[in-house]
Amino acid sequence: MRILVVEDEQSLSSTLKRGLEAEGYVVDVVGDGAEGLWMATEHEFDAVLLDVMLPGLNGFLVARRLREAGNTVPILMLTAVDGELDQADALNDGADDYLTKPFSFDLLLARLRAIIRRASGHSSSVVSCGNLSLNVATHRVWRGNTEIELTAKEFTLLHYLASRRGALVSKTELLRHVWEEDSEISMNAVEVYVGYLRKKIDLPFGESSLETVRGRGYRLAGGEI
């Protein structure tokens, strides 16, 4: 999952980037509203963490312009003042949720996961694809009653495929949402990681839920959420 952090306080943006990357997210950081608006318009993100007090354009204007342009990316607004007007402005201008500074990272993570789930039509932190279940909050995975241990990158890859369950996902899309854009990973490496994942979630159980569509990409077979 790729997250855009729009925050001009460098210490906070650095902390958020480290923390989110440790949770398996791919994170881009910008420090002013105009650049944040451009990034969110020109690139595809799974969510935006948007500060209110920004140089250039404030967060309210960024959110409003994104919504006016038809951009539906989930937005978690970070406000410095705990006031009803600020909270109302954030929601009225298009934010999906807000947090008042200072906040705990655990609470931010929970709110972030919630707006991503809602945007994907998920009502629970548990995503199920047949008898394969992922707990997005705890990063645990089960096939039936058997727990499967995945690395952080394997979980991120599976989570993204599960969020697009039943749909064909190209290698380019996986690179954009699961790996850093400036990383040196190649298309062939994506195949390698998909192979790692398949060996853990399918082969030991006689399943074939992770499908390869030759020349086009991958699909995680259906199930209910």
Q: Is residue 32 part of a domain?
A: yes
State whether 142 and 78 are in the same domain. no
- Which of 95, 119, 143 corresponds to the end of one domain? 119
**The domain spanning residue 184 has which CATH number?**
1.10.10.10
∠ CA 165-108-68, nearest 5°, is 70
From first to last of its 225 residues, what are the pLDDT tens digits of the chain?
A: 889 999 999 999 999 999 998 888 889 999 999 999 999 999 989 899 999 999 989 999 999 999 999 999 999 999 876 555 567 777 888 889 999 888 999 999 999 988 988 887 655 678 888 899 998 878 889 999 999 999 988 998 999 998 888 889 998 888 888 876 655 667 778 889 999 999 999 999 999 999 999 888 999 986 443
**Residue 183 covered by a domain:** yes
Contact 31, 10 (CB under 8 A): yes
Q: 127 Cβ partners below 8 Å, 6+ apart?
A: 133, 134, 136, 159, 162, 163, 165, 225
CATH number of the domain encompassing residue 114: 3.40.50.2300
98 and 149 within one domain: no
Do residues 63 and 36 both lie within one domain? yes
What's the domain range around 170? Answer: 126-220
